[in-house]
Amino acid sequence: MRESLVKCLAWVLVVLFPASIVMADATSAMLTSNGSVSVNGSPVERTTAVFPGDKVQTGPNSIATLTSEGTSVTVPGNSSLIFSKRFVNVLCGTAVVATSRGMSVRVSRLLVQPVRGTQARFQITQNEGQLQIIAREGTLAIDNGTITSALQAGRMLTVPASCMAAPYAEDAGANSPTPQDQTQDQDNNKKKKGGADAPSGRTAPPSPGGTNSQSMVYMGVGAAGLAGFLVWVTTRSSASNTTTSSSGSGD
């Protein structure tokens, strides 16, 4: 009875731990691809995890879907974007966002986000010469760095724009400064007195799958290995008991 319980638990660990590697990291998303899709230039066959700073690109007649808690981002063919823990940065093409968690989109110099407390579904399309923002569901707040305007559901905004090969410098890594970062900036500026060089105040964004994600991967692999060992032990033990029983019956 105990051997059966241990064996059952081991198989549960084998199945659940690979998925939990991604689920445990709130800054990651799962990418599902259909057709020619790449992440950081490497082709993706079916599914993979993406992390802040990862570039997702789709070829003609292809589609990719990014899913995280409460958010889905559909990326049709001939599109490219960079994933972030707080928003996606559309470089070229189209992204369709459905979110109940306030996922935002950075495109050109604009920040597009759902009005707080509402679900939203919206579409961003940036091609050579034009940027189009369509509010499918919910009201959007569009911030150009100076003023914020509202785009009601069912409305569309079109402005001149062009595709980008990479995000603007302040969006590199796709992580906006938080109030904590801004406070640190002020402290660092104060330290500049006396001729000492003050640090820039904005830390470099974590590399895709950095230390935290690597740790989770190692933990997941270790747990899966432990689970596999338990399965092997219990299977070997069961086989040994069966052989012993057979020998006893022959006597």
pLDDT, tens digit, 9 for 90 and up, residues 167-192: 887 766 444 443 333 334 444 444 43
Task: Specify the pairing of strand 87-99 against strand 104-107.
Answer: parallel
Asked if the structure places residue 122 within a domain, the reply is yes
Q: Which pLDDT score, from 0 to 100, does residue 236 have?
A: 57
Asked if the structure places residue 104 within a domain, the reply is yes
Domain CATH code at residue 161: 2.60.120.1440
Asked if the structure places residue 216 within a domain, the reply is no
Asked if the structure places residue 191 within a domain, the reply is no
58: confidence class by pLDDT, cuts 50, 70, 90? very high
Residue 57 pLDDT exceeds 80: yes
User: What is the C-alpha separation between 49 and 47, in angstroms, rounded?
Assistant: 7
Asked if the structure places residue 86 within a domain, the reply is yes
Q: Are 163 and 92 in contact (CB under 8 A)?
A: yes
Task: Output the average pLDDT for the chain.
Answer: 73
Q: Residue 219 phi/psi, 5° resolution?
A: -65, -40
Q: Which pLDDT score, from 0 to 100, does residue 85 have?
A: 75
Q: How many domains does the chain have?
A: 1
Asked if the structure places residue 107 within a domain, the reply is yes
Asked if the structure places residue 59 within a domain, the reply is yes
Helix, strand, or coil (residue 19): helix
Asked if the structure places residue 81 within a domain, the reply is yes
| Residue ranges making up the domain that contains 55 | 29-175
